[in-house]
């Protein structure tokens, strides 16, 4: 299942080169992943998970000013305790500015380690 959401940009997302700074991209990807998780399995309190890997391929700049970006998010794979997301960051003109692949691990705060993803959560993540 794919999710698409428009996220407004902030003045601080841009640099003096006249485009979005590279440091802003992971924030947009993270916000979209967080919203995806919250809508399907609950907030961090209900479904704690930690980021263990992220890859970003920067393809096209996002020039200043750009009022918003679109982030497309989908689950590529679910392991025993991990969820792999694939995402695209898209400019307002429809051009893909960056693609990302991120792995989150379901977290057990008491044990300070990973935990298994149950069948119910697995089904909701794929819905």
pLDDT tens readout for residues 83-109: 999 999 999 999 999 999 999 999 999
Instruction: Supply the CATH number for residue 39's domain.
Output: 3.10.129.10
Average pLDDT over residues 22-28: 98
**Residue 81 has what pLDDT?**
98
pLDDT at 2 > cutoff 90: no
The residue count for the chain: 127
For the entire predicted model, the pTM comes to 0.95
Domains in the chain, number: 1
Domain that residue 74 falls in: 2-125
Q: How confident is the model at residue 1 (pLDDT cuts 50, 70, 90)?
A: low
Mean pLDDT for 36-42 is: 97
Average pLDDT, the chain: 97
């Amino acid at each position: 299942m794919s999710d698409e959401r428009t996220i407004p940009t902030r003045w601080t997302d841009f640099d003096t080169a006249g485009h979005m700074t590279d440091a802003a991209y992971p924030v947009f990807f993270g916000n979209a992943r967080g919203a995806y998780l919250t809508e399907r399995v609950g907030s961090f309190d209900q479904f704690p998970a930690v980021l263990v890997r992220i890859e970003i391929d920067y393809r096209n700049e996002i020039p200043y000013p750009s009022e918003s970006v679109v982030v497309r998010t989908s689950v590529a794979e679910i392991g025993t305790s991990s969820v792999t997301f694939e995402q695209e960051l898209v400019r307002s003109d429809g051009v893909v500015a960056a693609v990302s692949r991120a792995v989150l691990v379901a977290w057990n705060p008491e044990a300070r380690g990973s935990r298994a993803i149950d069948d119910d959560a697995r089904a909701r993540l794929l819905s």
